[in-house]
Structure 1
Amino acid sequence: MTSPLVSTEWLASRLGDPGQTSTSGSIIPVDASWHMPDSQRNAEKEYNEAHIPGAVFFDIDENSHKASSLPHTLPRVDQFEKSVRKLGISNDDILVIYDDSDVRSAARVWWHFRVMGHREVYVLDGGLRKWHAEGRPLTSAPTSSEPTMYQARFMPALMRTTDDILMTLKSRKEQVVDARACARFEGTVAEPRKGLRSGHIPHARNIPFAALFADDNTLLPTEELRTKIEAAGVDMSKPVITSCGSGITACVLKLAFASLGKQDVAIYDGSWSEWGSDIGLPIETGPAESI
């Protein structure tokens, strides 16, 4: 498959298919739900109450770099391997990542596995909301699994650091695209995390991630996506770095670009949590520069 997305129909037709392991490993749904701290929601509790049959739960906060002062940054390779092995995931398995989250956190875990070198990883288009709306099966039964010997292969080209951003501000070889809401990007409202300045990385473009979804929670059709992206001033012929508040919705933009076949897109893992907290780094406020 070339698309990073699979449909609910695709997954439903293959769950429990005894032939699914014949060539490429098992199909494993992965619940990647994550909620903002003020949402009063517990993603793991909700998973335990109702999940797609056979799904395992991937905790974004637990699978982050514990020594970092930033929220849910990428874990070390050995930490990632340890967690994935416990979930019973093997390198040849086909992973279908889904969520029931307002921040579309499945895209973050999709990127987690991609940056760690997993070959067959996809996002369920429409997520759990579409699956449930269609009356497809859910269960509270625990998913049993045996530990594996999963081995990651870190792909550094898929992420960027603050130093990389500073370099691209000088060279302008890559475009920075911010997934936050317009008011946060323009700096007209305070950031939800204390201690962060308001505004955006100089020369960045703004594509609020929530604008990329249809009413049924699926990504917009490709031509509509392309229109929105180009209207924001993004040159589809040049490489892109996506950013957001803390690295989660930046991955939604990468997913959207990937659905259009654009692969030269990297994630600024620290995002505004890192950039906005460092008073030595430049910021801008107001709308993005004119195209």
Structure 2
Amino acid sequence: MDALVTTDWLANELGASDLRVVDATYVDAATGRDPAAEYERGHIAGAVFMNLGELRDTDTDLPMMLPSAEKFASRMQSLGLGDGSRIVLYDDSPWHTSARAWWMLRTFGAHDVAILDGGLAKWKAEGRELATGKEQLRHRHFTVWSDRKGVRDLDQMKDVVASGNAQVLDARSAARFTGEEADPRPATHAGHMPGAKNLPYGGIFNEDGTYKTGDDLRRAFEDAGIDLDQPIVTTCGSGITASTLAFGLHLLGKDAALYDGSWSEWGADRTTKKVTGA
């Protein structure tokens, strides 16, 4: 299974015994949307709802830090996602949050994971059928496992900035990156990490919400000043849209690391250096 699958491919695979489809839509509560309720009103047949807002470390004030491996495995089992499953993720979020679910699943040991290109919007635009209500779930075994080689913490990022041993790529908007726009989080400085490059996450998508691929995708990263042959760490505001850049790099055969605390940690920490301007 490719990392990026089409609506035609998924429609043909629905019902396969090893296939699990997951709605990974997440939006900020301030939008007034309720992704869980939206899921019940209409989802791809057989899909389960992964609540990313709850699938996090609740022992920290940071918004979207990875949960423990044990918590993650328990939630996956309760969703019927287990060892040997082929997992296809989709979302209906402006932040393309299925990429965050993809990154988490890979971090916790699931490798046969794909994203539906264009998400639920494309599926609906093509007039494909939706199911309503909740799906009946059967627990499946999900092995507790964590591989954090692709995760960076605050101390590691301080070393990256000091040494320049990896490129830092920020997925936030240009105005947030330069500091022209104030950070929405209280007591969080504006700006970016010293030496960071900026590629707003929307830059790796086509107008219809599908991912750019091939030369178009490669050009998006290179135009942002990224050398694809050198190590890369992605970051954003809370670790969500950084995942879209990590997935885009994966499509190009490049496995980037991700700074999980992102700007909500770096920008609020008094010991870190911040830069404003382009």
Q: TM-score range by the shorter chain?
A: over 0.9
> Which of 110, 115, 125 is 1:133 aligned to?
125
Q: Counterpart of 2:263 in structure 1: which amino acid? A: W
> Which of 256, 260, 269 is 2:260 aligned to?
269
What is the match of residue 44 of structure 1? 36
What is the match of residue 282 of structure 1? 273
What is the match of residue 8 of structure 1? 7
- Per-residue deviation, 1:279: 1.6
Rounded Cα–Cα distance in structure 2 between residues aligned with 1:47 and 1:95: 18
Rounded Cα–Cα distance in structure 2 between residues aligned with 1:169 and 1:197: 17
Rounded Cα–Cα distance in structure 1 between residues aligned with 2:254 and 2:73: 28
Q: Quote the RMSD (CA, aligned, Å).
A: 1.0
Rounded Cα–Cα distance in structure 1 between residues aligned with 2:95 and 2:237: 11
Q: Number of residue pairs matched?
A: 278
Residues 39-72 of structure 1, C-alpha deviations (whole Å, 9 max, x = no match): 1111111001100000000001111011011002
Rounded Cα–Cα distance in structure 1 between residues aligned with 2:85 and 2:267: 38
Structure 2 gaps of 5+ residues are none
> Which of 94, 98, 103 is 1:102 aligned to?
94
1:131 match: secondary structure: helix
What is the match of residue 213 of structure 2? 221
- Per-residue deviation, 1:173: 1.4
Are 2:79 and 1:80 aligned?
A: no
Rounded Cα–Cα distance in structure 1 between residues aligned with 2:199 and 2:28: 20
Are 2:117 and 1:118 aligned?
A: no
Aligned partners of 2:213 and 2:251 also within 8 Å? no
What is the match of residue 232 of structure 1? 224
Rounded Cα–Cα distance in structure 2 between residues aligned with 1:142 and 1:156: 33
Are 2:24 and 1:32 aligned?
A: yes
Q: Counterpart of 2:4 in structure 1: which amino acid? A: L
- Per-residue deviation, 1:149: 2.1
Structure 1 gaps of 5+ residues are none
What is the match of residue 156 of structure 1? 148
Return the TM-score normalized by structure 1. Answer: 0.93
Q: Counterpart of 1:95 in structure 2: which amino acid? A: I
> Which of 241, 246, 254 is 2:233 aligned to?
241
- Per-residue deviation, 1:171: 2.0
Aligned partners of 1:86 and 1:147 also within 8 Å? yes
> Which of 228, 244, 252 is 1:252 aligned to?
244
Aligned partners of 1:118 and 1:152 also within 8 Å? no
Return the TM-score normalized by structure 2. Answer: 0.98
Rounded Cα–Cα distance in structure 1 between residues aligned with 2:137 and 2:30: 33
1:129 match: secondary structure: helix
Q: Which 4+ residue blocks in structure 1 deviate beyond 6 angstroms?
A: none
> Which of 61, 75, 85 is 1:69 aligned to?
61
Q: Counterpart of 1:51 in structure 2: which amino acid? A: H
- Per-residue deviation, 1:132: 0.5
- Which 10-residue stretch deviates more, 249-258 or 219-228? 219-228
- Per-residue deviation, 1:194: 1.8
Rounded Cα–Cα distance in structure 1 between residues aligned with 2:264 and 2:133: 37
1:107 match: secondary structure: helix
Q: Percent identity?
A: 39
